Structure formats: C-alpha cells, structure tokens
A and B are shown apart, each in its own frame.
Chain A
C-alpha cells in the first residue's frame, strides 16, 4: 500500500506561504475596506500579492482549504457529512462565549470555546441516539438548529451590550469574511493545520480501517472510540479555524464538496486525500480571488461556489464515472460495433463471391443492401473506416476494398461470431437457429484470451453450426 506522504506536496505550499508572509507591502488596506476600483487594477494587485490583508487571507485560505480536504475525505467515505454540518453550526455559541470570556476577538479563546461547543453538540447527538429511538439524522437536526439558535441569541446580546465597534469580527463568523483574518489568526490556523496533517499521516492506517470496517477495527483491538474522539476534536478545530473566512452556514460545504469531487475522481483513499486537499485549496483561493475582485463581496459563498464548480467538472468529466466521459465511451463503443459490422458484411460478400470466383472488391450498393442501411449512412461508416485504414474507396466511390488490416479485423469478428455460435450450441445446448442474435452482440466483446480458451474447450472447430468455415482461428 502506498502511504500518504505529504512532504513533496507541502514543500511548494510552504514556499508560497513564506512568499506571501514576506512579500513587499503596497497600499495597505484590508480586502473588505477597498472602495470601488477598476477590476483590472484589482487583478494586478491580486497577482502581485502587494496587499498585506490579501496575503494573510491567501495563506489562511490555502491552509484551511487543505485541512478541510483532508478531514472531509474521511467524512465523505464514512457517510458523516451531516455530522460535519451539525458540528459547524453547533460551534456558534462557543464562538460567542469565547468572545464574552476574553471580551475581544482573541482567536485562542474563541477556538477553545467553539471546540467545546462543537464537541458538546456531538455528545448531545450521541446521547439522544442512545437514550431514545430517535435516529441520527433527526438528532443531528435538533442539535444543529438549537445550538445555532443559542449562538445567534448570544451574538445579538453581545452586539446590544458592546455597540458596533468590536463586533465586525464577530459578524464574520456567520457568513465569512477573509478580510478579518489577522496575523494572530493565521498563527492559530497554521498550528491547527500542522497538527491535523501530522494526525492524518501518523494515524492514516487505523483511521482507514475504522472508516472501512468499524467492527473489524474493534476486533483487532484498535482504540476505535479514542480515535473517533481525536478525529472529532480535530474536525472541530478545523471547522473553527475556517469559520471566520467561510462562515458557520457554509463551512461544512468546504469539508464535503472538495472531498466528494475527489471521491468521483480517484479510487484509493490516499489519492483522495491529495486530490481533496488540492481542490480545497483551489476553492478557497478562488473564493479569495473573486471576493477581492468585486470588493466587499463575502468570501464564504465564493469559496463554496468554487468547490461546487470543481465538483460539477468532476461529475461531468471524471475519468471513469463522469457523465460526459461515459457518453463518449458509449459513443466510441457504438462506432466500433458499427465499424465491425460493416467489415463483417464486406467479408461475407467477399466470401460468397470467392465461391463464385469473384475478386476482392465489393460494390457499395450491394453492401448497403447487405447491411440494410441507406447509402448515405453507409458512406459515413466507410469514411470512418477509411480514416482508420481498414478500407479503401475505389472507382470514384462506387466500390470498396478491404485493406490487410481491415481484412484481419473482419476475420476476427466473423471468427468470434461463428465460434460463439458453436460454443452456445455445444456447451449451452442452444438450438442452432437461436444462437445468431446472441453472437451478434458477443462477437464485439470477446477478448483474444477468451477466444483461445473457447477454441481449446471446443477442440478447435473448423465450421460453425450452419456449416460455414471459421476464419482466422488462433489455434489453426
């Protein structure tokens, strides 16, 4: 098993981090405080990283984008998406209490308060499940809403008592504003991210085992409950550090959407961790970019829209399961089948002709009759076949001639067809007048190994059930 090794991947990230930390200042202004400016000028400011507020925002976005992708991957494969949503709402009263306790936007106090609230939320969910017959989804719904409501009340109370001066920071917890991140916030985020990455790297195997098969994880003596607790703790941490930039309402989307997109794109968990954190970072940076471009736009919604766009692309173009990819694959298979059917028809006509002593050229009109298609349709097929070098059109497009490659392929299809008819008649006891339709489908999908196996099993037959010779046998 390939392990999850973050070194090669975090080195460029660290470089970007330091670059952003120490790049030269230009006109100092927070992202949110910018007045109407020309978007081109804004874009230039973005790509020169000359705005210190923007630099901090980007660092933060890259960092929590990566952690959200990492932890989100586990959440998605364990079908815990609702839990992430519930915890992110449940932290709000903790944010308010942390604020009340320090009477300032002290990131540490808020982190502690929010984490405690988040964990209390998940404990209450468990308590409801264990002591009643209410299932997890309803329990999550109850806890999510009631904790969120308490948080909203507390924030309004703080606003009423303190006036608006200190509250700008607190408000951003609802909908997210990357501009409020200061150096201290970034240090907190960095610490959380480093520990989270370490956690995932060190405990990757046990976390994977618990995610796949919880009972088995218990049965080999893994400390499942402890690991669950640690995971939830770090989940709460990560939610809290992303909270200011993305907002309570949308932060769970940043956990789930990049990971879900990665789940569609790759097949192994450690690849999913890479891809999900890359998508998380990309979404977060896109969010910062767009909210910077149109000044004063909220960051959170743009990050989530960024993630959703990536998800849409994955949904449509994922290598194996993407809708568009599948459609293309089906189309190319349909064309292959049609190509092979045309080649087979040419071969049949030539076969009959050979008995009558004719050459190796077939009239297109005759072929259209044999294929039972219009001449126009047939010509489309034949042009495609000419492009792949299977046929040549001669006599001003009135006749068609098989090339060597085309002849080989035609012989293969006819062989598959007739061999399969023999197989069905002999081995599956089909009546010989029932086998043709099945062979029409199977002939296009038999691999050479299967053919060799069938030939061997049938003791190398020479003719099909209708007495026609089987061409191009492997064992011949």
Chain B
C-alpha cells in the first residue's frame, strides 16, 4: 500500500553522539530504518543499546547529531512514536491496576486535562485482548508475573496507536510463552505497516526474529538486512575485543574533562 511516506524513513539517525558524565557512550551513530520493518538492536553489555533509543526519544540528552521520525524531529511527531521502557524501570507496587496502566497509552493524545472516555476504554481493552491479558484487566499490577508485566507494557504501547515503536529489552526475563506471543504480535504489527525497533540481548534468537539488525558497540558496527549482517566477522567485531582502544580513549577523555 504505497503512500507519500513510503520513501521517508520511519526513523533516521544522523551522527548521534551521547556522553554520560563527559564519557562518550555512543559515537556518531548513523542509520535509517524504512517503515514497515522489524529491526533488532544487538550488541554486548554496555554497548549503548538502551542509551541509543533513549536518546532518540529525547530521554537522554545527546551531545551531537539528530534523530528524525518520518522526516521530522521526534518532538513534533511524538504521537507517532511509542516507547516501551524496560520492565524493571518502574515500581510494580504502584497502586494501579492493569487497566489503569494500559489507559496511560491514551494520555498522550487526549491532552492534559481531558478524561478518558468510552473510546479509550475500548482501545485499552482491545490492546489487552491482543496480548492475552484481558481477563487480568482489573488485577493489581503487583500480582503479575514478569511475563505478564511485559505484556501489560506492550498493551500500553498498542493503545498509543503509534506507527513507530522503540522497545527496550521486551524479552528480558519473560517466560517462553510470553516471548513467543510478543514476537508474533511484533510480526503482525510489522505486517500492518508499523515499524518496530527492539533492543535485544540474545544473539541466538536475533537472526530468526528480525528483518534487519543494527550491530552496536558504542558505534554502529553494521546495519542492514539480517541475512547480510549476521556474519561471524561482523559479530566478532561487535562482541570481540577490538574496541578496547575506543573505550580506553573514552575513559581518558572523561578523566581529563573533569
């Protein structure tokens, strides 16, 4: 289904650099994701995977470069982007139930003061149904398993009705059934024309899950179709020890700067 957006990348990142306490954690990241693709971001611990999507969302300040969504700055397209934070980033003893959390997905569109109505309730219920959590709508969130918590987060993202999704480690610490359900759902979303970008920690499944891969280790090692970039040499470059020099220099910069 061609439309005027077909040639505008869903996400374009140009020369994005992020530093934390003067220590660079991402160097000049460049890549562009066409719309309607399912993309995995993989790399070792500390490679800056979460930092990358946080800085695209503007949650972490960048020290250079930019990110554009459908050709415009993220801030202006905020309702077209859905962000799914790591499950551990919130307090699951917070006094809300599953429905309350999913309804939060609608708050970006309805404005600060307006209340949620039937339309939002229906959207939230549909989203819960898609992740198989509708029977749990009234359940207090502290009584959910890890996999159920992740499903609730995905449902909240679905209720946002965005076109581009950035998900931070949605498969971390979830049961096999949930992982299978989520990947099926992601593929459905992609087939419906959405673009889904996922931070992923498990190389073993990365090849079968994603259309495209971004190999990241403080910089982009490779970006392209999974079949082309999932090679021993590139993975060795991503996970191997060749980048020690880069990280040593980063340490040195941090020390001199302070």
Q: Mark the stretch among A143-151, A177-185, A217-225 that contacts chain B.
A: A217-225
Known pairs A77-B94, A267-B140, A268-B95; A215 contacts B85 (CB<8 A): yes
- Is the C-beta of B89 less than 8 angstroms from some C-beta in chain A? yes
- Is the C-beta of A173 less than 8 angstroms from some C-beta in chain B? no
- Is the C-beta of A202 less than 8 angstroms from some C-beta in chain B? yes
Inter-subunit contact B107/A209 (CB<8 Å): yes
Inter-subunit contact B78/A213 (CB<8 Å): no
Contacts of A213 on B, CB cut-off 8 Å? 85, 89-90, 104
Contacts of B90 on A, CB cut-off 8 Å? 212-213
Bound-state CA distance A218–B97 (Å) is 21
Inter-subunit contact B107/A218 (CB<8 Å): no
Inter-subunit contact A1/B116 (CB<8 Å): yes
Bound-state CA distance A3–B120 (Å) is 14
Closest to B101 in A: A212
Q: Mark the stretch among B51-59, B219-227, B237-245 that contacts chain A.
A: B51-59
- Is the C-beta of A197 less than 8 angstroms from some C-beta in chain B? no
CB of A276, distance to nearest CB on chain B (Å)? 11
Number of A-B contacts (CB under 8 A): 87
Bound-state CA distance A222–B58 (Å) is 13
Contacts of B64 on A, CB cut-off 8 Å? none
Inter-subunit contact B83/A215 (CB<8 Å): yes
- Is the C-beta of B199 less than 8 angstroms from some C-beta in chain A? no
Contacts of A266 on B, CB cut-off 8 Å? 95
Q: Which parts of B76-98 form the interface with A (CB within 8 Å)?
A: 78-79, 81-83, 85, 89-91, 94-97
Known pairs A267-B97, A268-B95; A205 contacts B107 (CB<8 A): yes
- Is the C-beta of A216 less than 8 angstroms from some C-beta in chain B? yes
Bound-state CA distance A220–B104 (Å) is 9
Binary interface encoding of chain A residues 191-218 relative to chain B, with 1 for a CB under 8 A from any of its CBs, else 0 = 0000000000011011011011101101
CB of B35, distance to nearest CB on chain A (Å)? 19
CB of B75, distance to nearest CB on chain A (Å)? 8
CB of A225, distance to nearest CB on chain B (Å)? 12
- Is the C-beta of A269 less than 8 angstroms from some C-beta in chain B? yes
Bound-state CA distance A208–B106 (Å) is 13
Known pairs A206-B112, A212-B94, A263-B95; A219 contacts B57 (CB<8 A): yes
Q: Which parts of A221-280 form the interface with B (CB within 8 Å)?
A: 221-223, 263, 266-269, 271-272
Contacts of A216 on B, CB cut-off 8 Å? 83, 85, 104, 156
Known pairs A1-B116, A77-B94, A220-B78; A209 contacts B104 (CB<8 A): yes
Known pairs A1-B116, A222-B112; A215 contacts B79 (CB<8 A): no
Inter-subunit contact B59/A208 (CB<8 Å): no
Inter-subunit contact A211/B94 (CB<8 Å): yes
Main secondary structure of the interface of A (DSSP, over half): helix
Q: Which parts of A321-374 form the interface with B (CB within 8 Å)?
A: none
Known pairs A77-B94, A212-B104, A216-B104; A203 contacts B140 (CB<8 A): no
Bound-state CA distance A209–B112 (Å) is 11
Contacts of B58 on A, CB cut-off 8 Å? 218
- Which of B54, B91, B116 has the most chain A CB atoms inside 10 A of its CB? B91
Bound-state CA distance A203–B107 (Å) is 11
Bound-state CA distance A215–B167 (Å) is 12
- Which of A205, A208, A216 has the most chain B CB atoms inside 10 A of its CB? A216
- Is the C-beta of B193 less than 8 angstroms from some C-beta in chain A? no
Closest to A218 in B: B59
CB of A7, distance to nearest CB on chain B (Å)? 14
- Is the C-beta of A79 less than 8 angstroms from some C-beta in chain B? yes
Contacts of B160 on A, CB cut-off 8 Å? 220
Contacts of B97 on A, CB cut-off 8 Å? 267-268
Bound-state CA distance A33–B226 (Å) is 83
- Is the C-beta of B71 less than 8 angstroms from some C-beta in chain A? no
Partner pick for A220 among B95, B99, B107, CB 8 A cutoff: B107
CB of B115, distance to nearest CB on chain A (Å)? 6
Inter-subunit contact A268/B100 (CB<8 Å): yes
Closest to B160 in A: A220
CB of A218, distance to nearest CB on chain B (Å)? 5
Closest to B77 in A: A221
Inter-subunit contact B107/A206 (CB<8 Å): yes
Inter-subunit contact A221/B108 (CB<8 Å): yes
User: What is the number of residues of chain B that contact chain A, defined by CB distance less than 8 Å?
Assistant: 33
Inter-subunit contact B103/A1 (CB<8 Å): yes
Partner pick for B96 among A203, A206, A218, A269, CB 8 A cutoff: A269
Bound-state CA distance A267–B143 (Å) is 11
Inter-subunit contact B96/A208 (CB<8 Å): yes
Contacts of B107 on A, CB cut-off 8 Å? 205-206, 209, 220, 222
Partner pick for B59 among A215, A221, A269, CB 8 A cutoff: A215
Contacts of A263 on B, CB cut-off 8 Å? 95
CB of A216, distance to nearest CB on chain B (Å)? 6
Contacts of B82 on A, CB cut-off 8 Å? 219
Bound-state CA distance A1–B97 (Å) is 9
- Is the C-beta of B176 less than 8 angstroms from some C-beta in chain A? no
- Which of B103, B107, B115 has the most chain A CB atoms inside 10 A of its CB? B107
Contacts of B96 on A, CB cut-off 8 Å? 208, 212, 268-269
Inter-subunit contact A219/B83 (CB<8 Å): yes
Q: Which parts of B97-125 form the interface with A (CB within 8 Å)?
A: 97, 99-101, 103-105, 107-108, 112-113, 115-116
Known pairs A209-B107, A213-B104; A1 contacts B99 (CB<8 A): yes
Contacts of B101 on A, CB cut-off 8 Å? 212
Inter-subunit contact B113/A203 (CB<8 Å): yes
Bound-state CA distance A24–B156 (Å) is 56
Bound-state CA distance A213–B90 (Å) is 6
Closest to A272 in B: B95
Contacts of A212 on B, CB cut-off 8 Å? 90-91, 94, 96, 101, 104
Bound-state CA distance A203–B111 (Å) is 10
Bound-state CA distance A202–B114 (Å) is 8
Closest to A263 in B: B95
Partner pick for B108 among A1, A211, A222, A267, CB 8 A cutoff: A222
Binding site for B on A (CB under 8 A): 1, 3, 77, 79, 202-203, 205-206, 208-209, 211-213, 215-216, 218-223, 263, 266-269, 271-272
Other 12 A-B pairs with CB < 8 A, given A79-B91, A215-B89, A218-B59: A203-B113, A206-B107, A212-B101, A213-B104, A215-B54, A215-B59, A215-B85, A216-B85, A218-B57, A220-B78, A220-B160, A266-B95
9 closest A-B pairs by beta carbon, nearest first, are A220-B108, A219-B83, A221-B78, A213-B90, A269-B95, A215-B85, A267-B140, A212-B94, A209-B104
